[in-house]
Structure 1
């Protein structure tokens, strides 16, 4: 038996940090949606009780540290499954980019194994399992567009945003999400207009979406990595309708409803940036 599953990336239309919790984590409120940039996961069921991971990019772990491996192991352990699985990951999503690449791979493994092994678990049950793997995994299990609260696991689903092109640009810097959180001063943050973004999405108001793109982590990431801020400024200068950083970075994305402008933005950056992508916004839930 084998199964092929797409694992789409996510972007943050808004990202707010509400408070630091007693357990050291932070409560967030963010609006996430999926884009048509996806890893491709091939699952092959094995008779032997083992998990094998193979990844096209050598700097991605192909062992028990890979979230796809952890997802398969968690599913097997919880349900007492003795079958094994070979997981081949064709990586298309940039790594350590603020696009949930590892989390969406884990979510795709959960969905794919549920189908391939005919486990009969609901999407909500898969999302609950995903939470033990990472806070972005429940959203990636569902897909679509949602407000995520708590550590990111409390989801309120929204309509699909207005259709548009998304230009993703990942500069060649490494960003530690842990470092960004530690440097955030929550009391000084200017909070995004989350309610306004929800209304803009609901009313299919593209200009309203563009004007409310905001990420409170930008300030800290920009201070640590000035080239990320320069990249955002360039996208604005090149005529993007809306620009913001995704997650803790370093990926910056721009949105536009004009295909020719999207191609122009892509061409303007491709000459000096290696990882540039033009994709469509998906924003709809997995079946």
Structure 2
């Protein structure tokens, strides 16, 4: 689909050509229709009710330019500037990873653990003023999708959510996303735990992270055109950042607190071993929506356990 045939560019012929364009360009077919809806600013129902809608010259130009960019490796989310995650909308750009559906498993597991805690008033919306809030830490927050989604679910409970990232540009996006989704998250500029205090009163009940975990020598990284490589890859076969997070967690996590980490499909055994070697118990790995090992979590052992 090029500018030369743009004069005949209706919703109907774009729909008819979408599959062929996707196959020839190795991009998802839904990117094309979603991009069309973004350009013409219509709902999905419009594709069925108004197939004869003719794009204006400006819409045709924008649509064709976007298809060309996608064909050269630009993700749809970077064109629209937004990505849906956990029923919320998030701004994204070249400084942040695009939130992926499988990361919702991480959010689900953290919430399941919180709800399962007995006699802890964790979700008590009527906690007294003398009750210290529970604290949750998101390491390497990026767009803020994990921290903000959790804060959204816990907004009526006594929880404080803290999110850190090394990238100041990513933190700007995360702060904007928190404001747009009307949640309260404290953002900190930090390399993992570095800027966080080690103090009994500021320990966390939950630490969660989706760190870089792709082997820095992985050949697939060569084909990425847009997303920040630093947010994806790590040394030591992709395990270096995970190792650091697990090994330092005991300094910042309350005894009995939860550590939950997203990792590569082939890293489950190695990550479970890291948890085991660093005084965690009740360790388990949960699959993503494709059935691949994706999230490992465990609780920091108490003195008497």
Q: Output the TM-score relative to the length of structure 2.
A: 0.24
Higher strand share: 1
Q: Which one scores higher on RCO, CA 8 angstroms, separation ≥ 6?
A: 1
TM-score scaled to structure 1, two decimals? 0.25
Q: Which has the larger helix fraction? A: 2
Larger Rg: 2
